């Protein structure tokens, strides 16, 4: 595309528009007023063809000079052509569109009922229980997992009331695991504020987590679906196994990628999978539909956790809801560490052993860890693996016909991965 006296490649956002190589705001009168042929009934040209035509016609019109009423457009109009303006945004529109707003909008009414259910079920005569529970529940979070339960139920045509209690159960299970995790990991922050254990202590956090699990199972029983109860109770056991596996792998720099993926399938992806599976189960959909929704949730959960792993070394604290580098300080072995350790030299491996295995962390070690990861593309490759699982999640929904809910679920996958950008 011609701008001024220079040819500028469309999409080359880092190129400047003048010889000084600096940003410059250009008025419309300084652009070449290009022309394009328009014929009645002609098909719309692809954008690449449009750019090519702009270049060619700009040369005809005296490209490289402001129009300033030069009459080029008038001269060429008599030849059967008309003026056209092309606006090229510099922002990456696709990335900006990655959002869960579609899912939020479609589940809004049911989520209001879920939130009311959550508040009512945290009530207790023991004052500390609602205080601790509401400290975390009211601290934000997207409540993605319960929305997925509502969404997959709707996707499969469910018309009952049980999905609301199952969605609340899923959120209680998730909240309970967060309360327990913060104690095990000795975390100070959760969702941008002090972790409950920092306010009420470890004992209260563990016990309130147990209370929420009890309430979750009580609501599952009230729904009356033995299959849904089996799915969520199995998920609770698998999540606990995943947490124990992570505890065993903590500070172990010999952890392999396969071993690490097994950990996150248990501790993170299993609840995503169960949340998505119970929707079609209570809708009494075919087994193939339930399996497809489970596959969607499992792969989405893996992608979600891998992005979290990358963000811990390259994100911003207020976006993460925790301190950047918490995984590093806690000696957690995540995929970026596994890749960096495998690809590094002996000096770099000694660094990982000292910091993660022996817990000897000095000032500047986090920055050194980030530098090693960049050197070996560990963060980039972690994100690429997340994108692979994201594609698998989308493929799992291919069984379902096109609908606004299916589109919203696919956009949710894009949102989870786009957090890394």
Interatomic CA distance for residues 236 and 327, integer angstroms? 23
303 CB neighbour count, 10 Å cutoff: 25
- End-to-end CA distance of the chain: give it in Å, rounded: 28
Query: So what's the pLDDT on residue 326?
Result: 86
Q: Is the pLDDT of residue 176 over 90?
A: yes
107 CB neighbour count, 10 Å cutoff: 25
From the number of C-beta atoms within 10 Å of its C-beta (0-12, 13-18, 19+), residue 226 rates as exposed
Q: Is the pLDDT of residue 67 over 50?
A: no
Q: Is the pLDDT of residue 310 over 70?
A: yes
Q: Is the pLDDT of residue 36 over 90?
A: no
Pairing of strands 189-190, 35-37: unpaired
Say if CB 24 and CB 15 are below 8 A apart. no
Overall fold of domain 99-418: Farnesyl Diphosphate Synthase (1.10.600)
Q: Which of 89-93, 113-117, 216-220 has the lowest mean pLDDT?
A: 89-93
Give residue-wise pLDDT tens across range 285-302: 999 999 999 999 999 999
Domain-wise residue ranges, the chain: 2-90, 99-418
Tell me the average pLDDT across 302-321.
80
Interatomic CA distance for residues 145 and 389, integer angstroms? 17
Interatomic CA distance for residues 50 and 17, integer angstroms? 21
Interatomic CA distance for residues 293 and 363, integer angstroms? 46
Q: Which of 151, 177, 156 is nearest to 166 (CA)?
A: 151
Chain-wide mean pLDDT for the chain?
A: 82
Tell me the average pLDDT across 165-187.
94
- In this prediction, residue 350 has a pLDDT band, given cuts at 50, 70 and 90, of very high
33 vs 311, residue with greater confidence: 311
Q: Is the pLDDT of residue 27 over 70?
A: no
Query: So what's the pLDDT on residue 360?
Result: 96
Query: So what's the pLDDT on residue 83?
Result: 41
CA atoms within 13 Å, Cβ hemisphere of 84: 14
Interatomic CA distance for residues 361 and 259, integer angstroms? 25
Tokens representing 70 are 């030069």
- In this prediction, residue 141 has a pLDDT band, given cuts at 50, 70 and 90, of confident
403 sits in the region (left: phi over 0; alpha: psi -120 to 50; else beta) called beta
Q: Which of 33-47, 119-133, 222-236, 250-264 has the lowest mean pLDDT?
A: 33-47
Give residue-wise pLDDT tens across range 363-421: 999 999 999 999 999 999 999 999 999 999 999 999 999 999 999 999 999 999 998 76
Query: So what's the pLDDT on residue 192?
Result: 76
- For 210, 353, 415, the CA distances from 205, given in Å and listed in that order, are 9, 32, 31
SS3 of the chain:
CEECCEECCCCCCCCCCCCCCCCCCCCHHHCCCCEEECCCCCCCCCHHHHHHHHHHHHHHCCCCCCCCCCCHHHHHHCCCEEECCCCCCCCCHHHHHCCCHHHHHHHHHHHHHHHHHHHHHCCCCCCHHHHHHHHHHCCCCCCHHHHHHHHHHHHCCCCCCHHHHHHHHHHHHHHHHHHHHHHHHCCCEECCEECHHHHHCHHHHHHHHHHHHHHHHHHHHHHCCHHHHHHHHHHHHHHHHHHHHHHHHCCCCCCCHHHHHHHHHHHHHHHHHHHHHHHHHHCCCCHHHHHHHHHHHHHHHHHHHHHHHHHHHHCCHHHHCCCCCHHHHCCCCCHHHHHHHHHCCHHHHHHHHHHHHCCCCCCCHHHHHHHHHHHCCHHHHHHHHHHHHHHHHHHHHHHCCCCHHHHHHHHHHHHHHHCCC
Q: Is the pLDDT of residue 24 over 80?
A: no
CA-angle at 78, arms to 74 and 82, nearest 5°? 65
């Amino acid at each position: 595309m011609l701008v001024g006296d220079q040819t500028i490649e469309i999409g080359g956002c880092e190129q400047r528009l003048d010889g000084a190589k600096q940003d410059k705001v250009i008025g419309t009168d300084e652009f070449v007023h290009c022309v394009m042929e328009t014929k009645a009934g002609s098909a719309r040209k692809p954008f690449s063809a449009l750019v090519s035509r702009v270049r060619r016609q700009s040369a005809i019109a005296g490209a490289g000079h402001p129009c300033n009423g030069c009459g080029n457009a008038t001269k060429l109009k008599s030849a059967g052509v008309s003026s056209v303006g092309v606006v090229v945004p510099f922002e990456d529109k696709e990335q900006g569109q990655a959002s869960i707003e579609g899912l939020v909008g479609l589940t809004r009414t049911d989520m209001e009922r879920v939130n009311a259910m959550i508040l009512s079920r945290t009530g207790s005569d023991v004052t500390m229980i609602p205080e601790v529970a509401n400290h975390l529940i009211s601290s934000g979070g997207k409540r993605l997992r319960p929305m997925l339960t509502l969404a997959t139920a709707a996707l499969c045509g469910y018309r009952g009331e049980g999905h609301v209690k199952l969605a609340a159960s899923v959120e209680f299970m998730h909240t309970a695991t967060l309360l327990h995790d913060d104690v095990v990991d000795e975390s100070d922050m959760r969702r941008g504020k002090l972790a409950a254990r920092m306010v009420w202590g470890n004992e209260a956090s563990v016990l309130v987590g147990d209370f929420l699990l009890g309430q979750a199972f009580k609501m599952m029983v009230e729904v009356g679906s033995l299959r849904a109860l089996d799915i969520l109770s199995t998920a609770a056991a698998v999540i606990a196994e995943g947490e124990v596996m992570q505890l065993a792998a903590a500070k172990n720099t010999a952890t392999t990628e396969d071993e690490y993926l097994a950990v996150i399938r248990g501790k993170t992806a299993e609840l995503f999978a169960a949340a998505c599976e119970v929707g079609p189960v209570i809708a009494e959909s075919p087994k193939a539909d339930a399996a497809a929704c489970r596959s969607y949730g499992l792969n989405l959960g893996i992608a979600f956790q891998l992005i979290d792993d990358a963000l811990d070394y390259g994100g911003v604290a207020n976006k993460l809801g925790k301190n950047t580098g918490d995984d590093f300080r806690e000696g957690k072995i995540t995929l970026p560490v596994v890749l960096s350790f495998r690809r590094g030299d002996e000096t770099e491996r000694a660094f990982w052993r000292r910091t993660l295995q022996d817990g000897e962390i000095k000032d500047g070690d986090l920055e050194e860890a980030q530098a090693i990861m960049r050197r070996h593309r560990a963060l980039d490759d972690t994100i690429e693996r997340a994108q692979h699982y994201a594609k698998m999640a989308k493929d799992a929904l291919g069984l379902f016909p096109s609908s606004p809910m299916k589109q919203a679920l696919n956009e949710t996958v894009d949102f989870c991965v786009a957090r890394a950008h």
